């Protein structure tokens, strides 16, 4: 696996699924700054043969509405089945509409048609908790101001990654570090504006970081 940081502000992204896992992905993507996000709620119950039946806002739960209102997101895009048993969503996914597709809260059999369609459209796909249907894995992450700290086990032990992240957040980089990191980034910006060299900026950041660590001990 190769760790990368993806700028999702304008990247076309689709989220397909339902339930708690689906809502957690909404939060994750929103916090990451995803603005071009389309969401598709999949109806509860067994899907029709080879096609998951997808519904729009009319079948959203009250919790779904409250979550979306809280996050300031637009309602999920309706995706009603076409005549003849096909699916508008499968057609949309296979047409290359999205660059990244997240599928969450579905069983492997439910997720596979959406995965296959999204792959045909050239998207990178992540089906939560189904490693064979993942082009990439979402690491456990912790945000402290402008700094994001991530831990990954290459999809092999998500619980372990989360435990390590929580340990780092509680013992190494507790909440006050958000302001410390913000101050250090501001220092870099100021020094660059003043014409400092790369080596000078790097040295100042190292020393500033070491000073915060020493003061916290």
Q: Is residue 190 part of a domain?
A: yes
Range 167-192 average pLDDT:
96
- DSSP letter for 172, please: I
Residues in the chain: 217
What's the domain count of the chain?
3
Say whether both 27 and 101 belong to one domain.
yes
**58-62 mean pLDDT:** 35
Q: Assess if residue 93 is contained within a domain.
A: yes
Which residue has better confidence, 32 or 59? 32
> Within this chain, do residues 18 and 110 fall inside the same structural domain, yes or no?
yes
- Residues in a beta bridge with 20: none
**Does the residue 4 lie in any domain?**
no
CA dist 2 and 177 (Å) reads 27
Residues 34 and 89 in one domain: yes
List helix spans (H) across the chain.
Answer: 19-31, 62-71, 88-94, 108-120, 158-167, 177-193, 198-216
Do 99 and 11 meet the contact criterion of CB atoms below 8 Å apart? Answer: yes
* More confident of the two residues 135 and 216: 135
Tokens of 49: 């043969």
Task: Give the range of the structural domain holding residue 91, as residue numbers without chain letter.
Answer: 13-138
Are 23 and 120 in a shared domain?
yes
Give 5's pLDDT tier (boundaries 50, 70, 90).
Answer: confident
Instruction: Please indicate, yes or no, whether residues 122 and 100 belong to a single structural domain of this protein.
Output: yes
* Per-residue confidence (pLDDT) for residue 155, from 0 to 100: 76
Same domain, 143 and 122: no
Structure-model confidence comparison of residues 53 and 89, the more confident one: 89
Q: What is the mean pLDDT of residues 169-188?
A: 95
């Amino acid at each position: 696996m190769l760790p990368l940081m993806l700028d999702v502000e304008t990247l076309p992204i689709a989220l397909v699924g339902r339930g708690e896992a689906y809502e957690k992905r909404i939060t994750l993507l929103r916090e990451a700054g995803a603005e071009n996000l389309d969401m598709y709620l999949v109806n509860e119950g067994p899907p029709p043969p080879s096609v998951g039946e997808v519904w729009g806002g009319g079948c959203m739960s009250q919790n779904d509405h409250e979550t979306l209102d809280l996050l300031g997101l637009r309602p999920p895009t309706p995706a009603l089945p076409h005549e003849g048993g096909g699916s508008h969503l499968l057609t949309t996914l296979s047409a290359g509409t999205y660059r990244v597709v997240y599928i969450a809260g579905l069983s492997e059999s439910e997720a596979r048609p959406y995965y296959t369609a999204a792959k045909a459209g050239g998207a990178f796909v992540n089906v939560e908790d189904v490693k064979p249907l993942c082009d990439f894995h979402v690491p456990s992450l912790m945000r402290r101001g402008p700094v994001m700290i991530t831990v990954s086990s290459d999809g092999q032990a998500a619980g372990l990654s989360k435990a390590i992240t929580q340990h780092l957040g509680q013992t190494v980089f507790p909440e006050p570090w958000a302001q410390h990191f913000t101050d250090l980034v501001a220092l870099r910006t100021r020094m660059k504006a003043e014409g400092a060299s790369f080596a000078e900026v790097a040295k100042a950041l190292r020393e500033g970081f070491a000073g915060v660590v020493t003061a916290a001990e």
